[in-house]
Amino acid sequence: MSADLSKLEQHLATRSYIEGYTPSQADVHVFKAISSEPSASSNPAVARWYTHIKSYAAEHQSLPGSSTAGEAFIGGATAAPAEAEGDDEVDLFGSDDEEEDAEAERVKAERVAAYNAKKANKPKTVAKSIVTMDVKPWDDETDMEALKRPSGPLKRMKLQITIVVEDEKVSTDELQEQIAEFDDYVQSTDIAAMQTVYRTLE
């Protein structure tokens, strides 16, 4: 008995194996029914599958599953008379394809759901920066006590502030712009030092 390459080509155009998602005895059964390596130009999907299953030659006997599903692709030489008798057989194969497609969609949906659940439970890493900022007054007559905010040492006519910011929520540019709004007191601001640390939130 030989394999029906036309039917096999149509089947493998959207699948990697005869059935399921790993090599099985169904693949081995059909593989052995093909007498010579298929042409990649006339049956590209079959040729690809044939080369892949051939690489498992040493494991053919130990592959799982049953050869039953492979029977649907055996008997290409007598396929024409059988098709002339009616459409029942074709409908049967079509039904199998629909069941396999439904199963593939179900497996895909399960994998997507599992991935999304894993991603949602993954700890989030938050970047924070320790910023030291120099705030320079206009001159030596500026009221430094008015300029000073909740904390920060006074050093040679400038206010030095050290703060911790969450990078995703606050930018140093925004901080400098907000401080510069106190234009009665502030001449300019400079970033004296900055260090970024990462913290994982459980």
* Per-residue pLDDT in tens (0 to 9) along the chain, 202 residues: 688 888 999 999 988 999 988 999 999 999 999 988 999 999 999 999 999 999 999 989 999 988 888 888 887 543 334 344 444 444 555 556 677 788 888 888 888 888 877 777 766 677 788 888 888 887 656 565 655 554 444 444 677 788 887 777 777 788 788 888 877 777 888 887 877 766 655 5
pLDDT value for 148? 57
Rounded Cα distance between 84 and 63, Å, is 36
pLDDT value for 178? 82
Rounded Cα distance between 37 and 52, Å, is 12
Rounded Cα distance between 94 and 100, Å, is 10
Residue 2: Cβ-neighbour burial (10 angstroms; 0-12, 13-18, 19+): middle
Which residue, 185, 187, 128, is CA-closest to 162? 128
Using alpha carbons only, give the angle 98, 104, 110 rounded to the nearest 5 degrees.
140
Rounded Cα distance between 64 and 67, Å, is 10
Contacts 24+ apart (CB under 8 A), 193-198: 193/130, 193/131, 193/132, 194/129, 194/130, 194/131, 194/132, 195/129, 195/130, 196/127, 196/128, 196/129, 196/130, 196/167, 197/127, 197/128, 197/129, 197/130, 198/125, 198/126, 198/127, 198/128
pLDDT value for 93? 53
pLDDT value for 168? 74
> What letter would DSSP give residue 62?
G
Rounded Cα distance between 126 and 198, Å, is 6
Using alpha carbons only, give the angle 101, 26, 80 rounded to the nearest 5 degrees.
80
pLDDT value for 49? 93
